Amino acid sequence: IFMPMFIQGMAGVNRRLYDGGATYLFAHDVIHWNVFMSISAWLLSIAQIPFLVNIFLSLRTGATASDNPWEATTVEWSAPNRPPHGNFLTTPKIFRGPYEYSQPGHATDFTPQTEPAGA
């Protein structure tokens, strides 16, 4: 959006136009970029409205995520949602590597590191 400012700067236009650009008649061929940049900045600002609405609606009416919403197998997802000092109440026991999916004897593909084999 603001790349034309570099073009204007190379043509000798300062950042601030104290008289609306009347001093810069020598840069008449690049001063029109101000209108383009202003309209583009306003459109970019307006385009952020759906995201802001989504944030506030999600905060007010959104579903609360579970402790492990992506069913990751790594240990950090076994910590409580409001972790205590040190992240765990007790030191977790690890029974497998972090990326060992599809364990034999399990009905699901998701098997946390902290769950013993055959559980």
Q: Does the model's pTM come out above 0.85?
A: no
Q: How many residues does the chain have?
A: 119
* Rounded CA separation 60/68 (Å): 21
Alpha helix stretches (DSSP H) within 1-119: 4-10, 33-47, 49-61
The mean pLDDT of 60-75, rounded to a whole number, is 85
pLDDT of residue 60: 93
- Do the beta carbons of residue 37 and residue 4 sit within 8 Å? yes
Domains of the chain by residue range: 4-61, 66-119
* Rounded CA separation 42/31 (Å): 18
The mean pLDDT of 96-112, rounded to a whole number, is 81
Q: Is 34 exposed, middle or buried (0-12, 13-18, 19+ CB in 10 A)?
A: middle
* Rounded CA separation 95/114 (Å): 6
- Do the beta carbons of residue 38 and residue 55 sit within 8 Å? no
Q: Which residue has the higher pLDDT, 23 or 38?
A: 38
